[in-house]
Amino acid sequence: MPSVKILIVEDENIIARDICVRLEHFGYAVAATVATGEESIVQARALRPDLVLMDIVLCGPMDGIEAARVIREEMNIPVIFITAFADDRNLQRAKVTEPFGYLLKPVEDRELHITIEMALYRHSMEQQLRESYDFNQLLVQTIPFGMDIVDEEGHILFMSDNLKKQFRVTGTEKHCWEIYRDDKTQCAACPLIPGVDLRNHPGIEVSGISGGRTFHITHTRMTYQGKPAVLEVFQDFTERKQTELALRHSEELFSKAFRTSSDAIAISRIADGAFIEINRGFTEQTGYERGEVLGKSAITLGIWVDAALRDQFIGELADRGDVKNFEAGFRIKSGETRSGLVSARPIEIDGERCMLSITRDITDRLLLEQQLNQAQKMEGIGTLASSIAHDFNNILNVILGFTMQLMKHASDPEKVQRYCQTIEKSAMRGAELSAQLLSFARKSGREMSPVDVAALVDEMAALCAETFPPSITIRKSVADALPRVLGDRGELYQVLLNLCVNARDAMTGCDREGGHVLTIEAITADAGGTVSPRLLQGHGERSIELRVTDTGVGIPKEIRERIFEPFFTTKERGKGTGLGLSVAYNVVRNHRGTILLESEEGTGSTFRIFLPPMPGENSRKGKKSSPVKRPEGVLLVDDEIVMLELGKELLDEKGYRVFVAPDGPAALEIYRKNRDAIDIVVLDLVMPGMDGGQVYVELKKMNPRVRAFFCTGYMSDKVITDLLAENDLKAIQKPVHPELFIRTIREILAEDPAR
């Protein structure tokens, strides 16, 4: 241990040296030797000795007693007086400084040694006591619990500051319950009642304190000011009790809802998808017993019908944090497929991330809706049968009449051109009406497959450029890296066609300086930009947006809310059935999308369609840039002889070598004999005996790289649709414009045959 440092204050040099020798003999270290009171204070501040030996009578204006007072008060260093004077006056002055010893010269070694040791011990004890007192004071002031000390009868002897503040009291001596309890009565379980052993007393919970609050109070026996007492520690449990009650109530409500809900509710681990709890609604809906489900995942049980939809669901949950009303098909224990709306959000249980999912079975509701919708559609079509027949009769009458005029005036080029244009418009009008009726009345389910939206826009823009009046400029804009969507290509094509035709009609007959413009766009839309996140809540953070914008007359405000109603039209009789926008609305909704209208009278209209991208889709496939090659031969397969004659004439005009087949077997025989001369096959889908899909399968057996596409008037068979998607085949709808027919042949022939 380091030596005790002692400062010697003595103005007699010989005495000072003698004391130094004696202290060093005892093993002490002499910090310094000074002769005046002023010097003692300076050295005490600088050296911080453990003890000061101070003579009372010193040279200079400050004597030892005054110097000791300053050292004691400022630095709390113990002082022992060594003096030759023992008069009462100096003795009384010295007492004020609280010296740790008073020695008279001459001092014996033993007396000096004992006095120093006793002074050092006393100072150490005082220091510990002071630190303990300071700590206790700090504890009492800062501890969040209230504390008091009461005697054995409950009279308050001491109260912490926070208790005084809380109960707004300053004095003591009252019974504790007279201050704390709202009813001023002693607690029934009070441990101060005689005979209670506090050593085994866990504490009591007391309500009705300070305005209805609840406290937990513990009691410990102690001695205070020499008398038996009890330390009481108060912990406010009010918020905790309220929280516990609220939590218990919430748990009861959740438990009741979980147990009694008819919806299927499940809790599963996010890490591996294993179910950790299900409710009775889950077992009733799926047919699985609880023991068959717990510990297994939906994948293991094969509950999801469509793996792609499951991936989309998981992706939306990861991106947005929750999913609401996600429509999907589910396979129950019996193997039956049901439809459900599933909502889910992540939760945490015992530190592990889990998912709470709620699934509502909507199979019966969807069936009723389909039946009702179909009934309403058929009722509406029946109601308008005469009007539709009238429209078709008008179309056929125009075609027949102008065909007769064409034959009579075949030598007049101007009339021939005008008659042909009128016949063309009438035929296109009939095609539009037929497509709308088929889409609106069709009962069979849509065939979902990946759809290249960009290619759809390209095709529609080309069709409009070829068929719309020259006064309308067609513009298109397709974003780079555009994802595909999962949908029915034919239905989406019909939506764009309906919107473009309506745009054309809105601009026809409406003069505008510089002419009119129809703009077709396909872009990506991000939630939070120009699009409200609420509109894209089923799409995640990204959506595909289709826009059709015209510069026509616009739509009046008073009818904008009705434009999507079936059979509502502002067109003249014979020019519109009111089915176009209704079809578009239902198609978009059935593709989990949203369609919006922006319009001002006199400035035009914009229809905006938002569709969710396919899961995992990042970009639009790049088109091949290989040069267009003129094919050597085209095989046309169609059971309509007139269609074969028309197709052959169109292709002969372009210099193609044409082979024709009226049915599937004939087509296979012709291809077998002329395989090297045939570069592409154009197939009708619907043919007697062997349909176009079967013909294609047989052709592919002969030549795995055969190039083909379908030109058909109707396509609803799922097998055919799957064949198109699987082999990345194109299909164009009859009636088809000759230029689109030729361009489709060129595009397919321009593709890499090894694709």
CA atoms within 13 A on the CB side of 624: 13
Burial of 234-249, coded b for 16+ CB within 10 Å and e otherwise, reads: bebbeeeeeeeeeeee
Q: CA-CA-CA-CA torsion for 319, 325, 327, 333, nearest 10 degrees?
A: 100
Whether the per-residue pLDDT at 294 is higher than 80: the answer is yes
Q: How far apart are CA 366 and CA 280, in angstroms?
A: 23
In this predicted structure, which of 487-501, 524-538, 643-657 has the lowest mean pLDDT? 524-538
Structure-token pair, residue 693: 């899909």
Radius of gyration of the chain (CA): 50
**Tens digit of pLDDT for each residue in 9-26?**
998 888 999 999 999 999
Q: Which of 94, 97, 9, 17 is nearest to 59 (CA)?
A: 9
In this predicted structure, which of 276-285, 502-511, 613-622 has the lowest mean pLDDT? 613-622
Please name the amino acid found at residue 381: I
- Alpha-helical regions (H) of 641-706: 641-653, 664-673, 692-702
Whether the per-residue pLDDT at 572 is higher than 70: the answer is no
Angle, helix 64-75 to helix 88-96, in steps of 10 degrees:
10
pLDDT reported for residue 566: 63
% of the chain beyond a pLDDT of 90: 16
Structure-token pair, residue 199: 């050593």
**Tens digit of pLDDT for each residue in 26-55?**
999 999 999 998 999 999 999 999 999 999
pLDDT band at 630 (very low <50, low <70, confident <90, very high): very low
Whether the per-residue pLDDT at 434 is higher than 90: the answer is no
The predicted model gives 232-237 an average pLDDT of: 76
Most confident region among 94-98, 280-284, 363-367, 634-638 by mean pLDDT: 634-638
Structure-token pair, residue 232: 């009481």
Q: How far apart are CA 605 and CA 99, in angstroms?
A: 102
Q: How far apart are CA 7 and CA 575, in angstroms?
A: 119
Q: Using the 8-state DSSP alphabet, how is residue 753 labeled?
A: T
Residue 347 Cα to chain centre, angstroms: 13
Which residues lie below 8 Å from residue 712, measured CB to CB, with a gap of 6+?
Answer: 684, 685, 686, 692, 731, 732, 733, 734
Residue 567, phi then psi, degrees to nearest 5: 70, 5
- Spatial contact of 40 and 54, defined as CB atoms under 8 Å apart: yes
Q: CA-CA-CA-CA torsion for 527, 528, 532, 538, nearest 10 degrees?
A: 30
Q: Determine which helix (DSSP H) or strand (DSSP E) holds 285, and give its type and residue range.
A: helix 280-286
Whether the per-residue pLDDT at 578 is higher than 60: the answer is no
Greater model confidence, 313 or 721: 313
Burial of 458-489, coded b for 16+ CB within 10 Å and e otherwise, reads: bbbbbbbbebbeeebebebebbeebbbbbbbb
The predicted model gives 322-342 an average pLDDT of: 89
Q: How far apart are CA 692 and CA 676, in angstroms?
A: 21
Q: How far apart are CA 575 and CA 580, in angstroms?
A: 12
pLDDT reported for residue 627: 43
pLDDT reported for residue 625: 39
Bridge partners, 362 (sequence order) = none
Angle, helix 580-590 to helix 413-441, in steps of 10 degrees:
50
CA atoms within 13 A on the CB side of 677: 10
Q: Which of 307, 304, 323 is nearest to 539 (CA)?
A: 323
Whether the per-residue pLDDT at 401 is higher than 60: the answer is yes
Q: How far apart are CA 402 and CA 400, in angstroms?
A: 6
pLDDT band at 380 (very low <50, low <70, confident <90, very high): low
The three-state secondary structure class of 25 is: helix
Cα–Cα–Cα angle for 403, 407, 413, rounded to 5 degrees: 100
Residue 187, phi then psi, degrees to nearest 5: -65, 140
Residue 294, phi then psi, degrees to nearest 5: -60, 135
What is the 3 state secondary structure string of 492-529? HHHHHHHHHHHHHHHHCCCCCCCCEEEEEEEEEEEECC
The three-state secondary structure class of 594 is: strand
Residue 713, phi then psi, degrees to nearest 5: -95, -15
What global pTM score does this model have? 0.35
Whether the per-residue pLDDT at 582 is higher than 70: the answer is yes
SS3 content of the chain, % helix, strand, coil (to 5): 45, 25, 30
Mean pLDDT score of the chain, rounded to an integer? Answer: 79
pLDDT band at 249 (very low <50, low <70, confident <90, very high): confident
Q: How far apart are CA 19 and CA 10, in angstroms?
A: 9
Whether the per-residue pLDDT at 306 is higher than 80: the answer is yes
Which residues lie below 8 Å from residue 612, measured CB to CB, with a gap of 6+?
Answer: 312, 485, 486, 538, 539, 540, 543, 544, 592, 593
